[in-house]
């Protein structure tokens, strides 16, 4: 048999009489838990968040060990090349940037940010999602989805937030200089609710980095992984991602690996 397998006899007997070490047994159990977390999050978690989840399960492991085990199993978080927007070079007047990249807050409903992103469907073509994030909890507190990118869509997303906030006076909301956000309809809605409008500088996505980051995650973890038949199909997928996953279950590194819903509810309490 050793001749057929082209194996040394000593190696053959070593293999058949091998007794797994304690470390090997522990690695087998660790691998099982890593895979369980990986599959439970639909391949969305990388080593840092899996490591944090393992700590919650009672494991005392380092990030590097988790990275080694994931590499040995050939698994990694979803990584997909993102779409790069090309500017149309249309002149836009600069407006006041109140936040100036200061995304810190001491509680909810002090600072919000909003933006619109594109989602493609086979039947309806490009569709649009407007999202509003609370910068303290990083929770998506309001969103609206439609087949047209209009000022009404931008207003609807903010209106969905204001329905649950008793006093909006003095809240700062950050947006880009898109026509939806510089429109009279959007500005009038903010004025009526005494919300202060802060604008990103032209060509500077870092001024609205938090909502840009959320939309990037949405694309990487959900949108780019699927093909949507129509806007109804896409809406269902977006609803499940935001309400069942991102807000309710996904750990956020900027929150010390806490979940947005928990931080938001804790601030209310």
Query: Is 80 a residue whose pLDDT tops 60?
Result: no
Q: How many Å from the N-terminal Cα to the C-terminal Cα in the chain?
A: 71
Going by C-alpha positions, the residue among 177, 236, 223 that lies closest to residue 83 is 223
Q: What is the pLDDT of residues 120-174, one digit of tens each?
A: 999 999 999 999 999 999 999 999 999 999 999 999 999 999 999 999 999 999 9
Rounded to two decimals, the pTM is 0.75
Q: Is 45 left (phi over 0), alpha (psi -120 to 50) or beta?
A: beta
Query: Is 84 a residue whose pLDDT tops 80?
Result: no
Going by C-alpha positions, the residue among 155, 217, 243, 222 that lies closest to residue 191 is 155
**For the residues of 159-225, what is the DSSP string, one character each?**
HHHHTT-S--TT-EEEE-S-HHHHSHHHHHHHHHTTPEEEEPPTT-GGGGHHHHHHHHHHHHHTGGG
Q: How far apart are CA 46 and CA 15, in angstroms?
A: 34
Query: Is 224 a residue whose pLDDT tops 70?
Result: yes
Q: How far apart are CA 217 and CA 209, in angstroms?
A: 12
Average pLDDT, the chain: 89
Q: What is the pLDDT of residues 242-262, one digit of tens each?
A: 999 999 999 998 899 999 999
């Amino acid at each position: 048999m050793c001749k057929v397998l082209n194996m040394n006899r000593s190696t053959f007997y070593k293999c058949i009489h091998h007794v797994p070490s304690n470390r090997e047994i522990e690695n087998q159990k660790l691998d099982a838990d890593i895979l369980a977390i990986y599959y439970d999050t639909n391949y969305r978690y990388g080593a840092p968040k899996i490591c944090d989840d393992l700590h919650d399960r009672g494991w005392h492991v380092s990030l590097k060990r988790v990275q080694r085990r994931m590499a040995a199993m050939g698994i990694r978080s979803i990584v997909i090349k993102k779409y790069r927007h090309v500017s149309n070079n249309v002149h836009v007047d600069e407006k006041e940037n109140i936040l100036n990249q200061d995304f810190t807050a001491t509680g909810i409903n002090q600072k919000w940010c909003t933006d619109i992103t594109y989602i493609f469907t086979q039947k309806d073509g490009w569709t649009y999602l407007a999202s509003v994030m609370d910068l303290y909890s990083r929770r998506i507190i309001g969103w609206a989805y439609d087949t047209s990118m209009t000022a009404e869509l931008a207003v609807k997303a903010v209106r969905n937030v204001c329905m649950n906030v008793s006093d909006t006076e003095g809240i700062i909301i950050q947006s880009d200089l898109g026509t939806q956000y510089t429109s009279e309809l959007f500005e009038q809605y903010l004025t009526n609710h005494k919300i202060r409008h802060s604008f990103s500088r032209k060509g500077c996505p870092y001024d609205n980095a938090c909502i840009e980051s959320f939309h990037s995650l949405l694309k990487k973890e959900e949108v780019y992984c699927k093909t949507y038949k129509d806007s109804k199909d896409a809406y269902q997928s977006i609803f499940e991602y935001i309400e069942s996953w991102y807000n309710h279950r996904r750990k956020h590194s900027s929150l010390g690996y806490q979940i947005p819903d928990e931080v938001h509810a804790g601030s209310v309490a």
